[in-house]
Structure 1
Amino acid sequence: MGEAPSVQKEHILCILPFPEPTEILRNIQKKHPQVEFTYILQPITASRAWNTDAKDIPDETFKKATILCTLASLPSDPKLVPNLKFIHFFSAGIDHVRSTPIYKDTVIPLTTSSGIHGPQISEWVIMQMLSFAHKEKLLLQLQKEHKWGKHSEFGQLKDYVGQRLGVLGYGSIGRQTANVCKALGMDVIAYTASPRTTPESKKDTGYIVPRTGDPDGVIPSAWYSGLDKASLHNFLSQDIDVLLIAVPLTDETRHFLGKEEFEILGKKNAFVVNIARGSIVVQDELIAALKKKEGGLRGAALDVTDPEPLNKDSELWDMENVTVTPHVSGMGTMYLERSFEILERNLTLLEQGKKLINVVDRKRGY
């Protein structure tokens, strides 16, 4: 009898801004004994949160790697990683690496952590919606001043039953937000770049946190698509009460929402929530729409701004109808575990010779 074929050794290089999760790595090695890890802690600093420079990593360390796990750090020269089978990013978006040689000049598969952010970001979105509707800013101020507020200040509160959520970008975050908003009694409509006209096309084929999201795409009462202005305006014209911006940042979506789009949303006095990227909106035109007393936006919750950090003199800081948070909606205690779960799943698929999940389409940019 011939010997069984040996499983190829995998050397996984992790360059991450988190302390080494030894228990998680140990569990992966139990399932995949052929795997060995090199873990390099590269702390986030003000100058390198999304800095792709990895010049401080020895060339030999890169050359040994068959899989690279990173938030942003990449070798400057693809020749340094001749053995890479894929790169796993610990972020959902990869707009910060699109100008790198690895992205532009190679066909190395790139996988993302898309799907892990749905629970915590949807909770942030719901928190902002409810806080705005129930005047949480005023309540906190009254408590700080030891004042018992007047009921007349709160009598006109409107709940979300029957209101419409428009999800601009129906990915994992949009699907879980839709899931929760449906439980509030809201109607949901979805927007995607390409048409989703069949049951199969509406399914979520990426990583899904158990018991979350909309795996089969059955929640929206209607779907819209198209990156041209006419298609976008058609979607925005559907009496949207709350717009969730959840599209990836690409050349097509940069400054996707400006004066014209906010005028359409202003007809319904919509509330805008942005958890995607700040430059998807034209920020000055968003501010103008928020300041309009007639036909403007009723408020906004922004976890992302343009630029980041937001300039100290930006009007957004002091606007009563705006909440600004420092790009923290995706943070949570399960972040690392879920991202490594995607890596482990792809290790299994690699061993089986099957297609990886969460693979970036370079032409689309996500």
Structure 2
Amino acid sequence: MGDATPPKEHLLIVLPLPPNQELLDGIKKKHPGITIKYHVVQFGVAFGHVPHDIPDEDFLEATILVTLGAISADVKLLKNIKLIHLFSAGADRLVNTPVWNETKIPITNSSGVHGPQISEWVILQILSNNHKQKTLLEWQQKHYWGKHTELGFIKDYVGQRLGVLGYGAIGRQTARICKGMGMDVIAYTASPRTTPESKKETGYIVPGTGDRDGLIPSAWYSGLDKAPLHNFLKQDIDVLLIAVPLTPQTRHFLGEEEFKILGKKNAFIVNIARGAIIKTEDLITAVKKPFKEGGLRGAALDVTEPEPLPADSELWDVENIVVTPHVSGLGDTYADRAFEILDINLTNLEKGKPLINLVSRKKGY
């Protein structure tokens, strides 16, 4: 008898994106024998629901599922699946579904694919606030050549401190840029990073970006409760980047107490993670408070609680709070990079190597 034939993989892709034939042909070429079925669904299909136009047979046949949100609620239909690759960076919306609680199917995510574009959005918001871009745009609309005295002097970011709450791909690329601007960077992670090896990023990072070896932060902090968080926030932070996943531990992680600490430096808050990490009303109060009383200098929110943000929410109208509709991660390279992670893991499966970007059910991300 000859060598055993490797198992044939059946790739089921369910995405709110049109198929990119070049990408799919590349996967077929690198992984001979793989079959691909592609279903385009509406954006926003909820986890745990099967879109009506996807036959049960397609789920049953699949050995690998690529999806942003459509996963069968009937785990019996997933019995042949050996890997689920999420097109999203977060897995929080999957946590309470049958596939999470009733199976042990490995789940990988697309964390890292939008590190460059989200970090650019972060820098845009930091600089726009600092250089009073909103005022300048208003002057332009009015055709008004304002006086220097009306604008005031701008304090540049040299010597100021960026605190990164969640030092993953986005935090590392933002740290890289801010370091180039002359800022000091400190990092906060859930678990301690006390050795050079533990500070390295093991997930996907866009080549030429980020801080793979974790050499940029001047100091590292860690923990899952308020005491270590407060110790981190007390380190004279000028700009706080929130980049942690939403878990039971991080839900409403930042509220009145935390903003009071940050108010001592009149910090600027940037949230690109999940809206529920912040207590919204407490943030509004802290931003509206005068600087002399410990008010925050402002906030930039690409995520809110809830989403979409209701038209009557006070957040829209608070001076020095910028709200964008969860768009910081949009980019024309998103799909290419997400499929690159899938391609890497297909190779790892074939060679019996560990998967990258593996989601931990215990941690929730």
Normalised by the length of structure 2, the TM-score is: 0.98
* CA deviation after TM superposition for structure 1 residue 49, in Å: 5.2
Q: Could you tell which deviates more after superposition, 308-317 or 296-305?
A: 308-317
Partner of 2:10: 11
Q: Is 1:328–2:324 an aligned residue pair? A: no
Residue among 201, 206, 221 paired with 1:204: 201
CA distance in 2, matches of 1:37, 1:3: 27
Q: Distance in 2 between matches of 1:98 and 1:169?
A: 20
DSSP-derived class of the 2:265 partner: coil
The answer to whether structure 1 residue 84 and structure 2 residue 113 are counterparts is no
Residues 90 and 112 of structure 1 are in contact (CA less than 8 Å); yes or no, is this contact kept in structure 2? Answer: yes
Residue 132 of structure 2 corresponds to which residue in structure 1? Answer: 135
Shift of 1:61: 0.8
CA-to-partner distance for each residue in 1:21-43, whole Å, 9 max, x for gaps?
11111111111112111000002
The DSSP-based 3-state class of the residue aligned with 1:243 is strand
1:29–1:42 CA distance, 2 compared to 1 (3 A): same
Check the 8 A contact 2:203/2:357 in 1, yes or no: yes
Output aligned runs, 1:179-198, within 5 Å.
Answer: 179-198=176-195
Secondary structure class of the residue paired with 2:192: coil
The list of structure 1 runs, each at least 4 consecutive aligned residues, that deviate by more than 6 angstroms after superposition, is none
After superposition, the C-alpha distances for 1:262-296 in whole angstroms (9 at most, x for unaligned) are 00000110000000000001111111111111201
1:267 aligned counterpart, secondary structure: helix
1:351 aligns with 2:350: yes
Report the Cα distance in structure 2 between the residues aligned to 1:201 and 1:273, rounded to whole angstroms. 26
Partner of 2:146: 149
Aligned to 1:53: 49
Equivalent positions of 1:156-195 (< 5 A) are: 156-195=153-192
User: Is the 2:41–2:51 Cα contact (8 Å) retained in structure 1?
Assistant: no
| TM superposition shift of 1:358 | 0.5
1:364 and 2:360 are equivalent in the alignment: no
From 105, 109, 126, the counterpart of 1:112 = 109
Q: Which residue of 1 aligns with 2:37?
A: 38
| C-alpha RMSD of matched pairs (Å) | 1.0
After TM superposition, give the deviation of residue 152 of structure 1 in Å: 1.3
Q: Deviations over 1:220-246 (max 9, x none)?
A: 000000011110000000000000000
Separation in structure 2 between the aligned mates of residue 304 and residue 277 of structure 1, nearest angstrom: 5
1:14–1:68: 8 Å Cα contact kept in structure 2?
A: yes
Q: For residues 329-362 of structure 1, what are the alpha-carbon distances to aligned partners after superposition, in whole Å with 9 as ceiling and x for unaligned?
A: 0110000000000000000000001111000110
User: How far apart are 1:149 and its partner, in Å?
Assistant: 1.4
Structure 1 residue identity aligned to 2:24: L
Aligned length, in residue pairs: 362
- One-letter amino acid of the structure 2 residue matched with residue 173 of structure 1: I
Structure 2 unpaired stretches of 5+: none
Aligned 8 A contact 2:45 2:70 in 1: no
Shift of 1:5: 3.0
- The residue type equivalent to 1:75 in the other structure is S
Letter of the structure 1 residue corresponding to residue 230 of structure 2: H
Verify the 8 A CA contact 1:11 1:64 in the aligned structure 2. Answer: yes
Aligned mates of 2:126, 2:344 — CA distance in 1: 35
> Does the Cα contact within 8 Å between 1:7 and 1:34 map onto a contact in 2?
no
1:79-133 per-position Cα deviation (integer Å, ceiling 9, x unaligned): 1011101100000001011110000111100000011111000000000000110
Contact 1:70 1:90 in 2 (8 A): yes
Residue 11 of structure 2 aligns to which amino acid in structure 1? I
Quick one: which amino acid aligns to residue 67 of structure 2? T
Which residue identity does 1:304 align to in structure 2? V
1:155 to partner: Cα distance:
3.3
Percent identical: 65
Report deviation, 1:3. 2.7
Looking at structure 2, the residues matched to 198 and 330 of structure 1 have their Cα atoms a distance apart, in angstroms, of 31
Task: Find the residue that maps to 1:40 and give its secondary structure.
Answer: strand
Q: For the Cα contact (< 8 Å) 2:10–2:36, is it kept in 1? A: yes
User: Following TM superposition, by how much is the alpha carbon of 1:159 offset from its aligned partner in structure 2, in angstroms?
Assistant: 0.7
Q: Secondary structure at the match of 2:138?
A: helix
Contact 2:288/2:319 (CA < 8 Å) preserved in 1? Answer: no
